């Protein structure tokens, strides 16, 4: 690739300090990294050197300190503190692969693989959730009040009959309000899960994922749950999921760290194929043999990148 080509993603002078109670844990001290399109870069570093932290910041899963540097994507600063914009960046431009797969156990292989495609461009807004709570609460309160009206007027024995009735109505209305809100939220969530399951089976969304899973040798496992798969198979599903939205950059955090050497090589060969087809990869590892698959190796040491 020509040296003059503009970077696709950059971390510029990134600083990150975690705060553990009163203890400050400085991790990144001005780390800068620049990756060209179609490059495969490995970030090597000792355990605890901040590799995952750096990867998470580059992918919008975490933020640097205030005024702690920038992430640039295709020449534009990524707004890492703007909920919806950050989500959009994370979901559309970046694919993540983690050491421990992070598949959803209650979804099957195909559903897991299409998950990224099913994330709405805009999440359920706070206003929508507030409406659900209010409507559920009002319905519940109404039903509680009706139940109070229909209930017997035998009192608690301590208060005059009118006050007993008032208090009973109030308690029933409040109970109904809480139950109503909770029930409506649960129903909305159930509807969302069912919609995801339904859409994941619809041809348009599922076709590309099925093709990728078949290419990865998982065509016969589409409706198996993650717990029924080997580690290597789970990682293939995770890679298929990460590629689901055709991301510009794949970020892989120790993608072979939980696998035996042979299975690890198979996963790296699979990444190599995708890389040769044009995928940009940033891969974190502490294993020089794994890093050797990359075009370029940089080291994270003392919170900075050494090239
Ligand atoms: N959420 C957090 N809160 C506090 N400290 C954290 C947090 N996440 C990471 N750290 C600390 O930051 C340092 C860097 O962590 P990080 O996970 O980035 O390292 P790493 O290089 O990926 O290590 P490994 O190779 O073991 O995965 C560690 O000392 C860790 O304890
Ligand atoms: Mg790590």
230 C-alpha to ligand 2 centroid (Å):
22
Run of H or E residues at 293: none
Using CA atoms, how far apart are residues 155 and 199, in angstroms rounded to an integer?
A: 53
The average pLDDT across 104-120 equals: 84
What is the CA(250)–ligand 2 centre distance, in A? 16
Residue whose Cα lies nearest atom 27 of ligand 1: it is 47
- Band (pLDDT 50/70/90 cuts) for residue 132 is confident
**In the chain, which ranges are continuous DSSP H helix?**
51-58, 83-92, 109-118, 126-150, 161-201, 203-215, 231-243, 261-276, 288-291
Q: List the residue whose alpha carbon is closest to atom 16 of ligand 1.
A: 50
Structure tokens that stand for 112 in this block: 């897991």
Q: What is the pLDDT of residue 125?
A: 60
* pTM, rounded to two decimals: 0.79
Dist. CA 257 → ligand 2 center (Å): 10
Quote the CA–CA distance of 231 and 237 in Å, as a whole number: 10
Tell me which ligand sits closest to the C-alpha of residue 300: 1
Dihedral of CA 101/106/112/116: which sign? negative
Task: Give SS3 for 9.
Answer: strand
Query: Best of 50, 61, 284 to mutate for ligand 1, by most ligand atoms within 8 A of CB?
Result: 50
Q: Can you give the pLDDT at residue 157?
A: 56
Mean pLDDT of 243-272: 94
CB distance 18 to ligand 1 below 6 Å? yes
Q: Which domains does the chain have, with CATH numbers?
A: 9-105+225-306 (3.40.50.300), 115-224 (no CATH)
Can you tell me which atom of ligand 1 is nearest the CA of 55? 18
Q: What is the pLDDT of residue 205?
A: 72
For 17-29, the pLDDT digits (tens) are: 999 899 999 999 9
């Amino acid at each position: 690739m020509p040296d003059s080509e503009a970077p696709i993603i950059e971390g510029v002078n990134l600083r990150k300090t975690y705060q553990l109670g009163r203890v400050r844990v400085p991790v990144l001290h001005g780390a800068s990294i620049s990756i060209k399109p179609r490059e495969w870069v490995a970030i090597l570093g000792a355990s605890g050197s901040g590799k995952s932290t750096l990867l998470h910041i580059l992918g919008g899963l975490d933020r640097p300190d205030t005024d702690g540097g920038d992430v640039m994507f295709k020449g534009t600063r990524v707004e890492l503190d703007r909920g919806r914009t950050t989500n959009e960046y994370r979901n559309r431009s970046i694919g993540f692969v983690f050491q421990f797969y992070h598949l959803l156990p209650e979804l099957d292989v195909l559903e897991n693989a299409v998950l990224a495609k099913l994330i709405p461009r805009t999440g359920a807004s706070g206003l929508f959730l507030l409406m659900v709570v209010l409507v559920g609460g009002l319905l519940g309160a109404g039903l509680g009040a009706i139940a109070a009206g229909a209930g017997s007027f035998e009192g608690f024995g301590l208060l005059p009959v009118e006050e007993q009735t008032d208090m009973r109505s109030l308690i029933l209305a409040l109970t109904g309000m809480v139950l109503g809100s909770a029930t409506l939220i649960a129903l909305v969530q159930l509807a969302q899960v069912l919609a995801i399951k339904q859409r994941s089976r619809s041809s348009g969304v599922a076709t590309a994922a099925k093709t990728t899973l078949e290419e990865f040798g998982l065509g016969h496992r589409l409706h198996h749950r993650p717990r029924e798969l080997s580690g290597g198979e789970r990682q293939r599903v995770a890679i298929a999921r990460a590629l689901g939205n055709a991301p510009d950059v794949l970020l892989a955090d120790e993608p072979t760290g939980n696998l035996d050497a042979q299975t690890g090589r198979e996963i790296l060969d699979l990444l190599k194929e995708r890389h040769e087809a044009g995928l940009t990869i940033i891969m974190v590892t502490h294993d020089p043999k794994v890093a050797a698959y990359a075009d370029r190796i940089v080291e994270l040491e003392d919170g900075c990148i050494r090239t």
